[in-house]
Amino acid sequence: MPKPRGNQRVPYFAGGVRLDAGSRLAPIGGVNDSGANRGLISKLATAFRDGRGGALWVMGVLVGLIAGYATLGLRLTISAIEVLAFGVTEESLASAAADLPDGRLLLTPVVAGCIIAALLWLGGRAGWVNNGRASGVPDVLEARAVKNGRIELKTGLYSALLAAISLGGGGSAGREGPAVHLGGTLASQVSRLIGLSPRGSRILLACGAAAAVSASFNAPVAGALFAFEVVLGHYGLRSIAPVAVSSVIGALIVRFHLGDDAAFAITQAYQSHLFDYPAAAMLGIAAAGMAILFDRGVLHGGGWIDGVAERLRLPLWLLPIPGGLMIGCLALIAPEILGVGYEATSNALSGEYMFNELIVLIALKTLATFVTIGFRFAGGVFSPSIYLGAMLGAAFGLIMVQLFGDQTAGAGFFAVVGMGAVSGAVLGAPLSTTLIVFELTSSYEAAVAVLVAVSLATVLTQSALGGSLFHKQVMRRGYDISGGASRLVLQMVRVRQCMMPLDHWGEAEIDSGVCLYEDDTLGRAMGVFDAEQLEGAAVRSRSADQPIIGWLTKADAQAAYAKSLAEISEEEHR
């Protein structure tokens, strides 16, 4: 252990906090002056920056307005491109596309693919595209977990443009993921302009996501719950009011401009029977199989396609062109696979498809979604999972009707249950999808059956995959957010944040045999301490000559870990 020079007082560092001898606990960089003589305006400004009390509620209103109108704009842009490409909007795309000439049906996705390829090339050169593809919900989760709620504005806007062209041009994906990313991006800019604290920035990020989901489905309760369940990962008391008000405002904006109609027109009243609830559990098992297949295809299909492109020496930004051709070929067989797929989903909920048609649509929609996402079209997975769930549930319902006749609620009832079960299992959001079903149907019986099915489907899916689809996508970027705060802190905190700078020690007094680097994670540092049975280690820079710049003790590392866990615990429970 190194010695301090002479009578020098050495500050004790613990997780970014400095304790000088004889001083009070204060953040590194100076004590935050909060004197009693500060004026009212200064106090209000501080309240906004810290995200306290009513100030955060007001910011939730602002973010709800911004994200709600942004989602409305995204929906209208997609519809405008659909009118240009197919002559109709999403509400009648499946039926109208069947009457289009084969040439237009085939070439429209190809043209969209060419435009997307050009935009990916330009965006890649400008740094507006991450990893050669548009951003989505995993980027929002990464921003919440490790970036203090920050998302780059140019990346968010460019991804929204790519999504609008992809979905308007026939790409088989969802609009909710791009809407959530856009809402989160704009919320992040509000946080940045105000200079909001990291905790407040994460809450506003959830506000943007809630308003986006609410405006997309016209379902304010589900929008708020999605933000808690998927984005924040907790139900902290401070976050409830701003997230709730943002979600309500997002729904009000859409209702004011587009009317009160829900995303799916469900007018049928379901008369469920006691037998329908164990049948819903059986459907939950089938939904888990569908969700596992879907998640694996999304996770591994893109990598397989990238590998083929690499072997063919094909630039990744060119992938949307052959992808558009494949989508067009599938549309010639079943136009119902085009776009978001809400009309086809509504048809399944109304019981308009025969069993054989449902099986074909499940197979083709699954393939079309894998192609869309793997070949670099932009879009989310929420709508495709809803589509597949509705088709699977309708097929299951037809089997139940054939076996038990009037003793079951019918194909439409099970289509609703399947819709919730598959989408909830894919997203890892069982409560949100249950609430979406309830807001769409106003049926308590259907909501209870969905809760039974989605609970079972989610457990089986996450047991098979080791986490939700979004968590697995974030894990590929080096962050495991499925293990909770205890694991995430080890990945987030860096050695530079808790080491003791070199200027308090003589470099010659430091044993540099075993060393750490300033950008090493806290998890690696603690692993080195345990493996080498050390109480401290020198810290080197990553620069060319790798000079020693500090010292980290095992005690400081443990203190930083405990402090970070305490902060996260407080955020999740207050």
DSSP letter (8 states) at residue 502 = G
pLDDT in tens, 525-572: 888 888 888 888 888 888 777 888 888 888 888 888 888 777 777 776
CA-to-CA separations, 311 to 57, 370, 384, in angstroms, rounded: 53, 20, 30
Statement: residue 117 has pLDDT above 90:
yes
Using pLDDT thresholds of 50, 70 and 90, give the confidence band for residue 490. confident
Statement: residue 314 has pLDDT above 90:
no
Tell which wins on pLDDT, 1 or 370.
370
Top-confidence range, 203-207, 233-237, 531-535: 203-207
- Say which residue the tokens 């979905």 belong to: 167
Number of neighbouring beta carbons within 10 Å of residue 385: 28
Using pLDDT thresholds of 50, 70 and 90, give the confidence band for residue 510. low
Distance CA(199)–CA(496), nearest Å, equals: 21
CA-to-CA separations, 451 to 54, 162, 233, 425, 432, in angstroms, rounded: 35, 35, 19, 11, 10
Report the candidate in 385, 206, 432 with the shortest Cα–Cα distance to residue 287. 385
Segment 225-254 mean pLDDT: 89
Number of neighbouring beta carbons within 10 Å of residue 259: 9
pLDDT at 516: 86
Distance CA(417)–CA(283), nearest Å, equals: 8
> Exposed (0-12), middle (13-18) or buried (19+): which is 432, by Cβ within 10 Å?
buried
- Say which residue the tokens 């860096």 belong to: 494
Segment 107-115 mean pLDDT: 95
pLDDT at 264: 67
Statement: residue 9 has pLDDT above 70:
no
Least confident of 28-42, 191-205, 325-339, 443-457: 28-42
Q: What percentage of the chain reaches a pLDDT higher than 70?
A: 85
Statement: residue 27 has pLDDT above 90:
no
Tell which wins on pLDDT, 410 or 363.
363
pLDDT at 538: 85
Statement: residue 4 has pLDDT above 80:
no
Cα R_g (the chain), whole angstroms: 26
Distance CA(418)–CA(405), nearest Å, equals: 19
Segment 69-86 mean pLDDT: 95
Given the DSSP bridges, would you call strands 536-540 and 515-517 parallel, antiparallel or unpaired?
parallel
Using pLDDT thresholds of 50, 70 and 90, give the confidence band for residue 454. very high
pLDDT at 32: 47
Distance CA(55)–CA(241), nearest Å, equals: 11
**Residue ranges of domains in the chain, CATH in brackets:** 49-258 (1.10.3080.10), 276-475 (1.10.3080.10), 494-573 (3.90.1280.20)
Using pLDDT thresholds of 50, 70 and 90, give the confidence band for residue 8. very low
Q: Please, what is the average pLDDT of the chain?
A: 83
CA 229 and chain centroid, separation: 11
* Complete DSSP assignment for 528-569: HHHHHT-SEEEEE-SSTT--EEEEEEHHHHHHHHHHHHHHHH
Distance CA(210)–CA(231), nearest Å, equals: 9
DSSP letter (8 states) at residue 409 = -
pLDDT at 353: 92
CA 167 and chain centroid, separation: 18
